[in-house]
Amino acid sequence: MLNWDDVIRFASQGNPEPERRVEKSDAEWRAQLSPEEYRVTREKGTERAFSSEMCELFEPGRYACVCCDALLFDAREKFESGTGWPSFTQPIRENAIAYHNDGSYGMRRIETTCNTCGAHLGHVFPDGPAPGGLRYCMNALALRKLKD
């Protein structure tokens, strides 16, 4: 189970190696994704809070990256954070997510990206529920819900 110290270590010292890598040209990403998915995942955008029904979905299943289909989260780790974005306590595997220091907008945050294709997912914060204390605050547009 990852905790905040692990996140800080990955962001500062390097992320674990992914199981595979997916690289595409900008034109290929634009052809594959909707304009909003492209803005969020490839340009580090953010969707409006409470703009997705995904926040209210708590059925069993898994969540994959909308860009490369890499598995990112299990629905058992999803919780209602009240923030307006889907929130999870842990990734599906330690090497599913990459972590990057983000000083944009005058804030100090940790950006999360898909470790397979580099898609921007959102940010992780140290204010989640026990036992790990993490809150992965994700853009719903960056995720695709899979049915089990």
The residues assigned a catalytic role are 137
Asked whether the beta carbons of 73 and 62 are under 8 A apart, the reply is yes
Sequence-ordered list of residues with C-beta below 8 angstroms from that of 31, at least 6 positions apart, any chain? none
How far apart, in whole angstroms, are the C-alpha atoms of residue 98 and residue 105? 21
How far apart, in whole angstroms, are the C-alpha atoms of residue 121 and residue 136? 9
Q: How long, in residues, is the chain?
A: 148
Among candidate residues 110, 126, 144, 85, the one with its CA nearest the CA of residue 2 = 126
